[in-house]
Amino acid sequence: MKVLELYSGIGGMHYALNASGLEGHVVCAMDINTTANTVYKYNFPHTTLLPRNILSLSAKEIDNLEVNMILMSPPCQPFTRVGLKKDINDERTSSLLHILGLIPEVSDRLKYILLENVKGFETSQARNQLLSALEKANFTYQEFLLSPHQFGVPNTRHRYYLIAKRLPLNFCFEVGSLMETFPFHLSDYEDTNPLAAKIRELNLQPRSLVLKECEEKTDIINGLCYSVKHILEQDVSEQEYALTDKVLGKHGQLLDIVTPNSKRSCCFTKAYGHYIEGTGSVFCEFPLEKISEVYKQAEVYDSGNKELIDLLQSLKMRFFTPREIARLMCFPEEFNFPGEISKKQRYRLLGNSINVHVVSLLIALLTLDDDPP
């Protein structure tokens, strides 16, 4: 399988392809973000990476690459809940619209497409144009809204996904309207469906990188998330990652706090570590009972009060490190940032990236069986 990776970022799609069990390789990656390209090249030095605007790509170039599959995660800003939602009138959608115009022109060698974007894309005009382009090129498709916590990962990151394959190839399940669950029950080990068994086997692979206690593997089999303690780094610098007095004084009452035994965390965005509200969870080593006790004492103080700040500082709360966030997004341990990439840049790049595990499952589902259901 020859794969073209568009909007390649830091290589999340590449890692998902590697984890999917599919025999294939990325013949070309393309992204205009120079910082992301530095990280991508650091981790995939032997992959052809083109630092080009996707608007310059032609159908002939795609054909010359003999591509069988396209993986892409176009800019999400035109569709986010905090953005202006200008949709196709946002210039950042121009490259996606360009690709949609190319799909009907590309040779039948292109069989598979996977697209990821933010929740909200499913109601956009861009999505409607995507479906029109696929239908024009004789593709069948399925849309999803999925989050990693549905697959045992203690992180919420709802995203839109589309998988498509060119007819007469077909899916191994019945396609239909937008799905908010995976078509197979990954935790149901009594299901003898051989296709579901293959997916279930894949479903456990990323956990082996971080799980240290066997009892939590049973939780995953039963459809539960593993604990946050399994993604934590040792000896994290308090000075570098601790929440400052300013943050605690202004935002201390609004924090989403996660403990080692938590089986959840909020979506991490590119503004994590820079802005506080709605950008991701913070970590506290103390149990929930201790946290509740401190916050109950803090109720009598106004924001910015020194006594309030001192109370909250006693909890030793900190930001998650980029490595910890990468683990929550299921990047493998061999993934690394070059030394010249700053902490702020690392947070931004991770916030713009994908959950590797969810996409790996969808790639496996896309290519698992090409017979009619």
Cβ–Cβ < 8 Å for 96, 74: yes
Sheet holding 318-319, edge to edge: 257-258, 282-283, 318-319
CA dihedral 295→301→306→309, nearest 10 degrees, is 20
Structure tokens at 174: 């019945």
Task: List the structure tokens of 187.
Answer: 């935790």
**284 is written with which tokens?**
């506290």
Q: Phi and psi of 92, rounded to 5°?
A: -75, -10
Choosing from 28, 76, 225, 267, the catalytic residue is 76
Rounded Cα distance between 240 and 323, Å, is 14
Beta bridge partners of 108: none
Q: Which two tokens stand for residue 228?
A: 């946050």
**By C-alpha distance, which of 197, 257, 189 is closest to 221?**
189
Cα 138 to the chain's mean position, in Å? 28
Q: Is residue 223 within 8 Å of residue 114, measured between CB atoms?
A: no
Helices (H), the chain: 12-19, 34-43, 59-64, 94-102, 125-136, 194-203, 214-221, 238-241, 245-251, 288-298, 306-313, 322-328, 343-351, 356-367
- Reduced to 3 states (helix: H, G, I; strand: E, B; else coil), residue 275 is strand
3-state secondary structure of 42: helix
Burial of residue 161 (CB within 10 Å: 0-12, 13-18, 19+) is: buried
| Residue 76 falls in the annotated catalytic set | yes
Burial of 371 (0-12, 13-18, 19+ CB in 10 A): exposed
Cis link prior to 183 (omega < 30° from 0)? Answer: no
Active-site residue list = 76
